[in-house]
Amino acid sequence: MDAEIIKLVNVSKVYVSAGGVQTWALRGVNLVIRRGEFISIMGPSGHGKTTLLYMIGTLEKPTSGKVFIDGYDTTVMSDEELSRLRNKKIGFVFQQYNLINRMTVEENVELPLIKLGLPRSKRKELVEESLLKVGCELSWLKKRPIQLSGGQQQRVAIARALVANPQIILCDEPTGALDSKSAEVVLDILRKLNMLGHTIIMVTHDANVASIAKKILLIRDGNIVGEKII
C-alpha cells in the first residue's frame, strides 16, 4: 500500500426535487483512500452511503468539491472521458447483480472488454480467467444468468467487475440478496482480491459483513462521523 488512489475534497451532493426541495446527500466530505485498502462504509439508510460510493465511482458528479481517481480530477472530465476512466480503473458489484438475462454468462463478463478493442480470442481468454478466479465453472459460459443461483450470479458479477483488471472494486451491498452460505463465499472472494492488491470499497448495513474490511467508515447525515481500524 503506498500512494493515494482516491481523494475527495470537500464533496457535497444536493438533490433538488421537481418542486424545488433540496435534499443534502453529502455535506463537505473529505476522504483519502490508499492503494490496496479494504474499506467498508456503514450508516443508516438514506444517510449518504450509496451516494458516496457513486461519487467515488464517478457515476454521479458532486454539486461542489473535487473527486480525484488515481490523480485525475474527475470533476473536469467529459462523460466520455469518465466512461473510459471507469472502464480502465473501476469495477462495480451491485446487490442485484445487474446481469443481463438475454445475454450469456460469457457475454455479460465480456462487456467491460468490448471498448478496449481487444481481439475476440484475447477477450475469451480474459473472461475465462476472471470466472475461474472467483470460483465459477466454465460450464456456465453459455448459460443465462437466470439459470444460476443468486450466489452464482453474484460470482459472475464479480468476474465481470474484475475482467479488465481494475485497480478499484466498488461493492454496493454485495451480500444483501444472498443467503448466509453464499454471502460467505462472496466475502471470501473479496478478501482474496484485496490480498492480490485490489482496492475495495464496500457499502453494507451488516456489521458482520463490514468487519471483513480493514477499516470501517461511519456516515451519518451526509458526513463521515467516525472511523474504525480493524
Residues 215 and 76: their CA atoms lie apart, in Å, by 30
Chain centroid to Cα 149, Å, comes to 21
Sheet with 90-94, side-by-side order of all strands: 90-94, 168-172, 199-203, 38-42, 215-220, 223-229
CATH of the domain at 64: 3.40.50.300
Q: Where are the alpha helices (DSSP H) in 31-100?
A: 49-56, 79-89
Report the largest interatomic distance among the alpha carbons of the chain, rounded to a whole angstrom: 52
Domain count of the fold of the chain = 1
Do 199 and 170 touch, CB atoms closer than 8 A?
no
Q: Which domain holds residue 71?
A: 4-229
**What is the per-residue pLDDT across 27-64, written as a single tens digit (0 to 9) for each?**
999 999 999 999 999 999 999 999 999 999 999 999 99
Residues 32 and 3: their CA atoms lie apart, in Å, by 10
**What is the per-residue pLDDT across 193-210, written as a single tens digit (0 to 9) for each?**
999 999 999 999 999 999
Q: What is the mean pLDDT of residues 151-168?
A: 95
Q: Is the pLDDT of residue 1 over 70?
A: no
In the beta sheet, which residues pair with residue 22?
Answer: 16
CB atoms within 10 A of CB 97: 23
pTM of the model: 0.94
Burial class (CB in 10 A: 0-12, 13-18, 19+), 76: exposed
**What is the per-residue pLDDT across 64-118, written as a single tens digit (0 to 9) for each?**
999 999 999 999 999 999 999 999 999 999 988 999 999 999 999 999 998 888 8
